[in-house]
Amino acid sequence: MGFTIEDMLVVSQDRYKMKMEAGSGGWSNSISWLLMLEDLTIILNLRGKELAVTTGLGFRRDEDMLELVEELSTHHASGLLVNTGYYVKEIPQCVKDYCDANDFPLLTVPWEVILPDLIKELTIRIFVQSSTDEQISGALIHAIEDPEARDLYTKDLLAHFDLDGTFQAALVSTGDLDKMDTVERKRIAYRMQLNLANLTHNGHFFYYDSYFVIIMNAMREDECSEILESFAARLHARMPERAVYIGVSDQVKGIENLHYVYKRARAAAEMAVTRKSRLQYFDRMGLYRLLYIVEDQDLLRKLSEEPLAPLLEYDREHNGEYLATLESYLRCGGSIKRMSEELFIHRNTILYRMANIKKLLGCSLEEPEEKLAYAVACMIQKM
């Protein structure tokens, strides 16, 4: 998850007397680089995840400092570090309140701290962590693509994950990630990571095969759910212009089984896109778990179109509703009363339709295997 605000505090609170003044809810924000600024001009060019550093020279008034944190938060910066004691004696309360309300980290170091020394050290740490993150991403991809070749991934992951512990995956889709250039995709990734709170060193975020992938390790399922539900809600609130769909796997034990959770998360993500659902859990998909995990699309098409062909043809030619009637029949267990209530049509109309449907299909729809075959066919139609 990169070099985070928490990491920065750990290495800087003693050496540089760094303090978290407000916005502690953003403690897990990762930092892409440090940016020195004394006015608002450069903020328009931010890509996201920058930690802004200022002496406060251009933000001496309370309203100027408030405008600064508002602009930084809007442009998805990781946080703000203020060198206090000369231009800014004390952080205004209105600024602290805004940062707390928006989980935007606001940190300070005293004036006697030599900023170039601090910036140099933190920049090196960010670079090293960035290189490590790329290495971890590559190893996780190897684990997904070639789980039998443990030599390709265990060495790089051993220091960062409990390889015998639980693994769970979430895949994030926007529907157009594969069409973006690298710069735009990174910009979206930065914005998303800032909304992925409370997941740091027991998780990893990376881009792979048209999805943003979140891997969670050695965490309880309820903890993972809480993080992901908060993540989905934040994305909806803070990125309203972009449709985001998240598919979540169940848990497995052992890094050698990571490919299973990836495939299950992908199945859930595909269902989330189809249903326009912000968050879809694999273990809540019922029989669709089997259908979405099938990669042979031609087989799925045959399983759906071949049994239903007579009804599909009839509905096309007569603008009919035989397929919807069959779906209701299967859903209601053949109860004409329940079908009448569900479809808002008279029972005699249902009896007439069902007689024609059985004739078109050439079966009585009474045998369990017959019903299952048509139920699966109808389900595939909705995928």
> Which CATH number does the domain housing residue 239 bear?
3.30.70.270
Q: Are residues 306 and 280 in the same domain?
A: no
- Shared domain check, 282 and 328: no
pLDDT of residue 2: 80
Query: Is 340 found in the same domain as 268?
Result: no
Query: Residue 383: its pLDDT value, please?
Result: 83
Is there a single domain that holds both residue 259 and residue 307?
no
Q: What residue type is assigned to position 186 of the chain?
A: K
Does residue 148 form part of some domain? no
Residues 200 and 296 sit within 8 Å (Cβ to Cβ): no
Furthest CA-CA distance within the chain: 89
Residue range(s) defining the domain that contains residue 345: 297-381
Q: Which pLDDT does position 45 carry in this prediction?
A: 86
Q: Which regions of the chain are under pLDDT 50?
A: none
Asked which of 67, 101, 123 is the last residue of a domain, the reply is: 123
Q: What's the pLDDT score for residue 201?
A: 75
List Cβ<8 Å contacts ≥24 apart for 200-207. 200/1, 200/4, 200/6, 200/28, 201/1, 201/160, 202/161, 203/1, 204/1, 204/133, 204/136, 204/137, 204/140, 204/160, 205/1, 206/133, 206/136, 206/137, 206/140, 206/141, 207/177
- pTM score of the predicted model: 0.80
Same domain, 175 and 262: yes
Number of domains in the chain: 3
Q: In what order do the strands lie in the sheet with 50-54?
A: 19-22, 106-110, 79-84, 50-54, 33-36
Which of 59, 48, 63 has the alpha carbon at shortest distance from 82?
59
- 3-class secondary structure, 47: coil
194 within 8 A of 76, measured Cβ to Cβ: yes
CB atoms within 10 A of CB 76: 22
Q: What is the pLDDT of residue 342?
A: 92
Is residue 265, in this structure, part of any structural domain at all?
yes
For residues 308 and 337, membership in a common domain is answered with yes
CATH code of 319's domain: 1.10.10.2840
Q: Is the domain of 118 the same as that of 193?
A: no
Are 172 and 240 members of one domain?
Answer: yes
pLDDT of 48 reads 87
Q: What is the pLDDT of residues 347-372, one digit of tens each?
A: 999 999 999 999 999 999 988 888 99
CA–CA distances in Å: residue 330 to residues 100, 310, 347, 372, 378:
52, 17, 16, 9, 9
